[in-house]
Structure formats: structure tokens, C-alpha cells
Copies of this chain bind each other. A is one copy, B any other.
Amino acid sequence: MKKRTISQTAEPSPQAFQSKLFSNIDQTQFPCIAQLNTNIDVEPAYQSVVTGYKTFKYSKPFYVRENDGVLPEVTVAYETYGELNEQKNNAVLLQGGLSASSHARSHPDNEEPGWWEKFIGPGRALDTDKYFIICTNNIGSCYGSTGPSSINPITNDHYATSFPIITIQDMVNAQFLLLDHLGIEKLHAAVGSSLGGMLSLASAAFHPERVGRLVSISSCMRSHPSSIAMRYLQRKAIVTDPNWQQGRYYNTDKYPKLGTKLAREIATLTYRSGPEWDQRFNRRKIDENAKPSLCPYFQIESYLDHQGELFSTKLDPNSLLYISRAMDLFDLSEPFGTMKKALARIQIPVMVIGVQTDILFPCWQQKELADCLQDAGNQGVSYYELNSLYGHDTFLLDLNGVGAGVKGFIETDNSEKGRVVKGRNDHNRDRMSF
């Protein structure tokens, strides 16, 4: 057999060889790692989101569902857009995702764009000329509502991980205490996406007489193990950061930045989609002239790193842990015995919106929700499946697709039932056959 050489060339001198080998060492220094080890003593950005929202303080004990937990008081931060009419029947509760503040749209007291900026306003999906939009910061969070970073009035210290485990039901209860305070008996609609969709479903199931219609976007009726897995990995990234200190980092000079950053990078994987990244980054390098190393080399890597960095101080890591766990615990069937019993409580018009590229709350879960609502007797369920590339984040980005569905659904006069009556349908068909 002929000896083959497999692209191996002649040997260099031992000296040249050694120097080549050691040049490898230079190539594998890690500027990306050196950077990582700085900036641990940070002023978390979430602490500075302190302007422009209103607060409602409930000064009595607030009991939570699990573990006999109780908070001595609870504060709900909220913002409103549009005007509440005299009958107080034009309120729309916008329910936000894991990291959402009450700041859904800019206003004179806080001119920063909100997280649903383009969906809210005169003539927009949530029309402020017609509706009074209320958006709260969920309890457990850190933007004005009571959460782990809040001061426990009994100990005068941050709750940290002495904060009780909370659930979707507890978040809804806090929101409805606010509605009581505002004198709103019945919502025109509850609109929520992701965690917010769980809140909307729970609102309608726990308070069927107080919700007029319901929009659930990229949500589910119970958390499935794959979404629990994705959140678990994020929590693990935080709690294995030594700076987390079992959650008691508030009064120390160390903040679990790296763990929180990695958590957000993992989350970003679950929020977007491969097809989007194929289109947006493909295999492009950060620097066309760079040599490959163990440090970020492809644009997709620097994108994830950047997303992680941006977010790493924007949400209190303990808030992420608690709210993320609340999402895991969500199973609408639990308080009612069976899912059918739970969903049978929701006989109002419902719009379910899913996205084909969503890997966190996949389309089949949206379809499942719509189907089960119908099985439980609801004849007013609309199901929209979007082909957006943006995965789970579509609800933040797809103004046309998501916005149109929501607007049409919210504004339709339901005094005529949505289904075409058989007789009329026949009549139309007759006319069309001429």
C-alpha cells in the first residue's frame, strides 16, 4: 500500500518547533475571562428604576398559597394609560412577563420607552382613546412591588431568601387588590403574554365574574417539564455563583453578576429562535481577521454575551429565582381538581396566540390550551398561530401580527355572537352561487 501523508509536512527544526508550540500559549490567553473577573462590585441597575410609577400599599397581612407563607404587607407598583370611564368598565389589565416592570409605555413621569411601547396608545392595539390600561409590576419582582429585595418591616432587613415562595395565584391576588382599590369591579379584558398569560388565565379562572375577555399569548395552562428545565438551568447558574451567598448579597459588596449573566444567556436561547439567528448571524465572525480561540469568535456568541451583560443587573437575581419558580408551579388544574373544571370557569371570549418558532412555550401548548377551553364548553375561543421568526419574544416584537389580533379581539362588539349562524351562512352561500 502506498504510504499517505495526510497533509503532514516536513519537520521543522526543534528550536522552530518549540517556539511554534509556545506561540500557541499566547494564542490561548483569555481576554474574555480576564474581563469576566472584574465588575463584581456593581450597583445593580434594577435599584434605580424608581420613578414614574404609582404604588398601592395593602397594609394587612398578605397570605400566600404555599408553605403557610405570609407577608406583613404588600406594595403593588402600577402605571396606567388612558382614562377610566365613569362606569369603570373600560379597564384592560395588561399582565407582564418574568422581568416586566409596570412601565409598559412611556409617559410624562417616565419618558423611557416601555416594554410594550408600540402596542399602547391612541389607535394602537391597546387603544388609550378607548381603554384604561393598567400594568403592574408583579409581586416577587423588584420594580416597586414587594419582592425579595424589599425591606421586611418586621426585621428591617431585605427579605432576601426569607421571602416566601409565591405563585401565579398570589400575583393575581395582589393585582385584584389593586383593582379593588381603583374601584374596578370588572375588567373589559385581561391581556397577558408568557408569565402574563398565566396570570390572565388565572385571573379569569379565579374571578370569572370580574374578567370580560381574555388574551393569552405564548403561555400555557400548566408548565411543562421542558420549560421547567429551561428555567431550572437559569436558577442553577445563579445559585452556583459564590457571590449569590444563599441570596443574602444585598448588604455585601458582592453581587452574583456572572451567574445572573449566564442565566440570562441561557434564557436568551429560549426566548429567540434558531431560524432567526440563521438569518441574522449565520456563521459570521465577530472579527473577520480573528483567529479561532476558546473566547467568543462567532457573532452569535457575542450576541448572547451582550444580552447577558445588559440584563445581568437589570433584574434582581432573587426576583428571577422566585418568579421563575412561580412559573414552574403553575398548573391551573390544581386549585380546581381537574383541568376541565378549571377551564370550564372560563366561558368568556378568549384569544390564544402561539408562535411556531417558540421553544419555551411551544405552539402545541397553545393549541392544547385552545382545544381544552373548547372541550370545556367555551364556544368563543380564537386561536392564532404565527409564523414569526422571533420565537417566544414575538409578543414583544411582532407589532403587526400580535397587535392586530389583540386589537380586533379587544374591540369587537360581542353583542352579536362571533359564530356565523347556520341559517345566515346558508343564505350567503345561496347568494354566492348565483
Contact A300 B68 (CB under 8 A): no
Closest to A61 in B: B11
In whole Å, how far is A218's beta carbon from the nearest beta carbon of chain B?
Answer: 15
Q: Mark A289-307, 1 if CB is under 8 A from B, else 0.
A: 0011110111111001100
Contact B277 A21 (CB under 8 A): no
Q: A156: CB under 8 A from chain B?
A: no
Q: A404: CB under 8 A from chain B?
A: no
Q: A236: CB under 8 A from chain B?
A: yes
Contact B233 A304 (CB under 8 A): yes
Q: A403: CB under 8 A from chain B?
A: no
Instruction: Pick the residue among B18, B164, B228, B262 that contacts A300 (CB under 8 A).
Output: B228
Q: A226: CB under 8 A from chain B?
A: yes
Chain B residues, CB < 8 A from A24: 67, 69-70, 162-164
Chain B residues, CB < 8 A from A82: none
Known: A265-B236, A283-B222. A162 touches B298 (CB 8 A): no
Task: Using C-beta atoms within 8 Å of the partner chain, give the interface range for chain A.
Answer: 35 or more
Known: A161-B28, A292-B325, A298-B225. A36 touches B6 (CB 8 A): no
Chain B residues, CB < 8 A from A328: 297-298
The CA-CA distance from A9 to B60 in the complex, in Å, is 10
Known: A8-B63, A225-B274. A68 touches B239 (CB 8 A): no
The CA-CA distance from A29 to B160 in the complex, in Å, is 11
Chain B residues, CB < 8 A from A4: 176, 180
The CA-CA distance from A329 to B333 in the complex, in Å, is 47
Per assembly, the copies of the chain total 2
In whole Å, how far is A181's beta carbon from the nearest beta carbon of chain B?
Answer: 10
Known: A161-B294, A298-B328. A225 touches B281 (CB 8 A): yes
The CA-CA distance from A152 to B70 in the complex, in Å, is 61
Q: Mark A115-129, 1 if CB is under 8 A from B, else 0.
A: 000000000000000
Contact A293 B165 (CB under 8 A): yes
Contact B6 A232 (CB under 8 A): no
Q: A30: CB under 8 A from chain B?
A: yes
Interface residue ranges of A293-347 to B (CB < 8 Å): 293-294, 296-301, 304-305, 321-322, 325, 328-329, 331
Known: A162-B21, A225-B281. A8 touches B265 (CB 8 A): no
Q: A50: CB under 8 A from chain B?
A: no
Chain B residues, CB < 8 A from A61: 8, 11-12, 17
Q: From A265, A274, A297, A300, name the one whose CB has the most chain B CB atoms within 10 angstroms.
A: A274
The CA-CA distance from A49 to B328 in the complex, in Å, is 39
Closest to A222 in B: B283
Closest to A26 in B: B162
The CA-CA distance from A296 to B235 in the complex, in Å, is 10
Contact B294 A239 (CB under 8 A): yes
Q: Mark A367-380, 1 if CB is under 8 A from B, else 0.
A: 00000000000000
Interface residue ranges of A208-256 to B (CB < 8 Å): 222-230, 232-233, 235-237, 239-240, 242, 246-247
Q: A66: CB under 8 A from chain B?
A: yes
Q: A278: CB under 8 A from chain B?
A: yes
Q: A362: CB under 8 A from chain B?
A: yes
Closest to A14 in B: B154
The CA-CA distance from A342 to B236 in the complex, in Å, is 42
In whole Å, how far is A210's beta carbon from the nearest beta carbon of chain B?
Answer: 8
In whole Å, how far is A170's beta carbon from the nearest beta carbon of chain B?
Answer: 9
Known: A21-B70, A177-B6. A240 touches B222 (CB 8 A): no
Interface residue ranges of A111-153 to B (CB < 8 Å): 152
Query: Which 10 pairs of residues, A with B, have the shortest CB-CB distance?
Result: A226-B274, A225-B277, A225-B300, A25-B162, A28-B161, A6-B173, A232-B301, A225-B281, A24-B164, A67-B291
12 further A-B contacts with Cβ under 8 Å, apart from A23-B68, A28-B165, A232-B301, are A6-B176, A8-B62, A8-B177, A17-B154, A21-B70, A165-B291, A224-B277, A225-B277, A226-B269, A229-B269, A233-B269, A236-B262
